[in-house]
Amino acid sequence: MTFIQKVWAIVWKDITSELRTKEMLLSMCLFSFLVLIVFNFAFDTGLKNLRENISGILWVAFIFSGLMGLGRSFGVERDKGTLYGLLLCPISPWGIYLGKMIGTFIFMTIMEIFTLSIFTVLYNINVIPFLLPLGLIIFLGTLGFATIGTVFSAMSATTKARDVMLSILVFPISAPMIIALVKATGIILWGGAIQETYSWLKILIAFDLVFLLLAYLTFGFIIEE
Amino acid sequence: MTHNRAFLKIFQFVTFFMMLLALYAIFVYAPVEKSMGIVQKIFYLHVPSAFLAFFAFFITFIASILYLYRRDHRWDVIAFCSAEIGVIFCTIVLITGPIWAKPIWNVWWTWDPRLTTTLILWFIYVVYLMLRSVAGENQRSNFSAVFGILGFVNVPITFLTIRLWRTIHPLVITGKGINISTPMIHTLIIAFVAFCLLFFWLLINRIGLEKMRFKVEEIRGFIEDKIHLEHEKQGG
Amino acid sequence: MAQMQEEDNYIIKASGLVKKFGFKTVLRKIDLSLKKGDFLALFGPNGAGKTTLIQILCSLMRPTSGNVWIAGFDAEYDREALHKVIGVVSHNTFLYNNLSAYENLKFYGIMYRVMNLRERIEEVMGLVGLRGYMNDHVQTFSRGMQQRLSVARAIIHDPLIFFLDEPFTGLDQHGVEDFKQILKKFRDQGKTIVMTSHDLDRGLELCTQAAILKSGNLVYKEDVSKITQDDFKEIYFKLTGEQTLPV
Amino acid sequence: MAGTLYLFAAFSITWFIIFIYIFSISRRQKTLEREIEKISRALGDHS
């Protein structure tokens, strides 16, 4: 059980540290807000076919602001020099990975709750009736994104051109996940039953599990020098 | 050394000969396909390249796993060289595909599963090469090995997803399911063998180049060491 | 067999350490062994590989070839167990700026699974003379105070072995004196210490053994009791080819 | 006729890419060989 305690300690210190400044959370929320507004200009709201694009807009907002959080996940540790302190702790690489991943997941969830409420108002779509299936899809998507994102955050933290590198590492790998997310969200927002999204949910679950397993197997190689 | 050289020479000659034979087969031996006309001959370039691109990335995948398992930098070199050649073949696939599609389907591109997956595959390995150039020397091999594994595992998931997303384009089926005549099959086999030989010839040469670069760097490091030590002696 | 028994006495043992960054060799075949209670000061000019050596010894970095055993643990396979018995202080404090001193120590305390954490934190804070600053955020601390807190962080789990990488950097005169007192205490408690330093005077004052690292080679190692400070300095200048004391 | 044009484009681009690649490999190889030669000559002078 000490393993869980240690993982939780990493999550706790990331969250406490972030809540002191709120720098990252605020910029993530603000950014997704902006994405919603910009897309509103880009696709004229008056048009009837907006509904087809709407789940795409939502996920673009989630993913782009999620990337901001990811970049900082290991980036800050690297910049402030605390990364070595963390690596010196008697915990397996997998523990460090989990701690960081859960932290990112929580930050993203907070941002997504905020974005979803803004979205409800700006795009005039009541999400309350779909909250349960939508929540499940967002959970799976955020988990998958945090899973691969944390691996690449650790990788890009030590490379040149860190932020650019992070996005070009994340996007090709997350392509299937993004397709599944947009499709499933679209079905739900259209008023479809959850049964219709099963094939997409299966892909999401498979994606999450496969990459969690791969992260477990390979994370040690990423943080060693 | 000389034994190797001789082997390479023969290999090179055979490759060259097979390429010429393939060209002959494609343009002279193979008949013109009835419904698509002469454009169909692109097929003989396109299909072997697609197979080899995929094969190259598979080599990268296996070599990456072996590198992490054994920590032998030779596997890393193989993974890298294979990925680079894979990108070359994948680029050929992505260029010849639309050139074929334009007169046949009347569009350059469709978001068909096969096409989209190939495009994403190409992206993944371009990013792989990029990652190698930006990562620090100390971590380059580990990073690229991990990315080589993640990227390859991602491919089947991507394909399944996109197939679910865009149900298979009917034109692809007519495109693949044409009644191929025996000379066409012969031509395809010859082209296939020729491209495989080309691939391995490129791979051997690329690996040789990388090994040579290693040697030169090693010698350079060695000389620097010597200079350093001599300097030290003079200092002391 | 005799050699095996001898090996058992060593708490730190490194053999044939080579580290290459790409094709640049930073460490060349370094052998190092220390007994319990030894205090080794590593001197050397910039770029001699001191930091790399320390990082390999505390298994933050993997050597290109060679092996490291710390307190009987193989650095390649027993990283977790090894990390439990070592404490590291470097010019980098490893502290989280937005957290208070107490929270920082609590975090590391949980990571090292320290029992009676609250009392232990109070104890180490008293040791480094920061008892009154428990709930202040680290970002409000001066450089010297941060370094002291960093020492508290490093000793929270009462390690057997200390690795100190340029610990005096950024400390004022007062801080250096306090830090030396702490080090003296550890030495007298029989902890094993490896320290790198630029500063010949301060380093020599405390250590039991002194070594010189020059472009990746361990060129000199001697018991301090067998040599005077001035002699050592002369040897240092001779071996490294430096004209003045490094800054 | 248009078909021939497409066919020609596809083949020429493919060969172009492959030859550029082969060319770049051989050029890099030449550079390295020259370097080795330079080093061995320098070593010869030295001893």
Cα dist. C159→C50, C145, C153 in Å? 21, 21, 11
User: Taking CB atoms and an 8 Å limit, are C23 and B228 in contact across chains?
Assistant: no
Q: CA nearest C235 in B: which residue?
A: B236
Number of domains in chain A: 1
- Please give the pLDDT value at position B141: 92
Provide the residue ranges of all domains of chain B, joining segments of one domain with +.
Answer: 42-235
Structure tokens that stand for A41 in this block: 């200009």
Residue C169 in 3-state DSSP? coil
Task: Read off the amino acid at residue C222.
Answer: E
The answer to whether C and D touch (≥3 CB pairs < 8 Å) is no
Number of domains in chain C: 1
Q: Is residue C46 in a domain?
A: yes
Higher pLDDT, A135 or B137: A135
Task: Read off the amino acid at residue A30.
Answer: L
Contact status of B131 with chain A (Cβ, < 8 Å):
yes
Q: Is residue C136 in a domain?
A: yes
Query: Are A154 and A222 a contacting pair, CB within 8 Å?
Result: yes
For chain A, which ranges sit under pLDDT 50? none
Contact status of A179 with chain B (Cβ, < 8 Å):
yes
CA–centroid distance for C121 within its chain: 21
Enclosing domain of residue C26: 2-240
Give the mean pLDDT of C128-132.
86
What pLDDT, in 10s, does the model give residues B73-112? 899 999 999 999 999 999 999 999 888 888 877 888 888 7
- Please give the pLDDT value at position A159: 87
Distance in Å, alpha carbon of A225 to nearest chain C alpha carbon: 5
Helix (H) or strand (E) holding C192: strand C192-196
Chain B interface residues (partner D, CB cutoff 8 A): 37-39, 41-42, 45-46, 49, 85, 88, 91-92, 95-96, 99-100, 102-103, 198, 202, 205-206, 208-209, 212-213, 215-216, 219-220, 223
Contact status of B150 with chain A (Cβ, < 8 Å):
yes
- Please give the pLDDT value at position C219: 83
- Kindly tell me if the per-residue pLDDT of B175 is higher than 50: no
Rounded CA-CA distance D41/D39 in Å is 5
- Please give the pLDDT value at position C208: 87
Residue percentage of chain D with pLDDT more than 90:
47
Output the CA torsion B167→B173→B174→B178 (10° steps): 180
Q: How confident is the model at residue D46 (pLDDT cuts 50, 70, 90)?
A: low
Residues of B in contact with A169 (CB under 8 A): 127, 131, 147
Q: Report the range of poorest mean pLDDT among A40-54, C104-118, C155-169, C187-201.
A: A40-54
Q: Is residue C245 in a domain?
A: no
Rounded CA-CA distance B199/B192 in Å is 10
What ipTM was assigned to the predicted interfaces of this complex?
A: 0.89
Query: Are A166 and A159 a contacting pair, CB within 8 Å?
Result: no
Could you give the strand order of the β-sheet that contains C86-90, starting from the edge strand earlier in sequence? C86-90, C161-165, C192-196, C39-43, C209-214, C217-223
- Please give the pLDDT value at position C181: 86
Give the mean pLDDT of B12-21.
91
Task: Read off the amino acid at residue B214.
Answer: F
Residue percentage of chain B with pLDDT more than 70:
89
- Kindly tell me if the per-residue pLDDT of D44 is higher than 80: no
Helix (H) or strand (E) holding C32: strand C24-35
Structure tokens that stand for A67 in this block: 């990337």
CATH of the domain at C127: 3.40.50.300
User: Taking CB atoms and an 8 Å limit, are B143 and A200 in contact across chains?
Assistant: no
- Please give the pLDDT value at position A150: 95
User: Taking CB atoms and an 8 Å limit, are A84 and C83 in contact across chains?
Assistant: no
Enclosing domain of residue A154: 2-223
User: Taking CB atoms and an 8 Å limit, are A88 and C83 in contact across chains?
Assistant: yes
- Kindly tell me if the per-residue pLDDT of B170 is higher than 60: no
Q: Is residue C247 in a domain?
A: no
Rounded CA-CA distance C129/C230 in Å is 33
Average pLDDT along chain D: 86
The answer to whether D and B touch (≥3 CB pairs < 8 Å) is yes
User: Taking CB atoms and an 8 Å limit, are C22 and B236 in contact across chains?
Assistant: no
User: Taking CB atoms and an 8 Å limit, are A82 and C83 in contact across chains?
Assistant: no
User: Taking CB atoms and an 8 Å limit, are D2 and B103 in contact across chains?
Assistant: yes
Output the CA torsion A87→A89→A95→A97 (10° steps): -20
- Please give the pLDDT value at position C2: 39
Give the mean pLDDT of C114-143.
90
Query: Which residues, 6+ apart, have CB-to-CB distance to A112 below 8 Å?
Result: A62, A138, A142
- Please give the pLDDT value at position A135: 93
In three state form, how does the secondary structure of A51-63 look? HHHHHHHHHHHHH
Query: Are C206 and C183 a contacting pair, CB within 8 Å?
Result: yes
Query: Which residues, 6+ apart, have CB-to-CB distance to C12 below 8 Å?
Result: C32, C33, C34, C57, C69, C70, C71, C161, C192, C194
- Please give the pLDDT value at position A153: 94
